[in-house]
Structure 1
């Protein structure tokens, strides 16, 4: 069995685990009392902490395996022309949907870190030439967390499934891969800790967004133009949208992606 085949199945299986583990959380989460309901899930709801950890680690693993999947596909694409330009396009859109899913989930924690991440996103959209037309979505209102909640549990999962279907021509993974994905998630639950929620009555010197957002945040701190920072943050997905099978074009994109990885890791660690 080829490794690219296995990795692609595990990606879909991890999303199923994240989706199913999120269902119990949906019924215990109340956007109008976001932080309080998260704490109730964590400390009072039976098996709430288990499902929350499973949801978190399966999502984190999903992102890692998608990156692994992209690396393998780009390497194997030198020997195989099975992928079409539309496959790369829909794969890129699915990647963006996962990033937005994880970001919206981070905001839905509604602790100091989640609120800080939402504030940074608000400022980005307000200051951006392109994204400012969507800034009303993140405007402060009594339904602020309802917006993120609906996107996180309905719209973004739907778009992800749609993009994956057009990318891979399949959606539901085989049961053995779901078992592997579940086992990996549980193993990570046992050996790694989930980030702590920071309540608003606790002073915190350093508030952070999601780890994959660190590079964009650091560029903004260096007064890099908002649109340039966002472009650089989403460069892999943007580049893969225009990926083609011609060897010269692939070589250029692959070199740019390698340089981007070096740059983004460095800027994230500043």
Structure 2
């Protein structure tokens, strides 16, 4: 198996790409440390991992809180002794609105999870991996971090920031045995994207431009999980600082 006996830490593991990646990496032989704000869905993922014969633990945490991040990192080290793979995945989407109508509280909410959460995860996991002399980190950015999308200015800014953090971290740790890459999904069938139409209905606001799903469908979370598992594995040994777009041609 590609990830046999690796220790994989995954945030946002309770649903979507995080859940699919947790299940795939466990299937490939990794022991998983699952992190999610939602205890119920996080424990559901752990149950699914164990049902397919995998091994893991779950930690309820708010990725935007320093003490919670330190706790999930320490739990991984205390439980399994190391962290070989870190899927820094937790994120949220903003309420669609023109930039001038975005409330400051909404700006703070998005940046706190999408940027601060990624930063804190990097900060504490990189320390562990540096002591080990090896590790692979995959951050979840978005096509909105490559090409901005209408009425999501703050979300787009947050995902541009994730790409900036990815490139900076990869440069700083390239000679320390640590690879840092980012994936940029574009339209994935998850609870997050399922809520978009409901947002339009509730707010009465629909952006002037809607992303064009050129393949005529959203991606399935499992399709993104394959890329995550690849970047986590030694098959991607010469990849660092890469921003991998997995979007069905959305950004063409």
TM-score (norm 2): 0.28
Q: Which has the higher helix share?
A: 1
TM-score (norm 1): 0.27
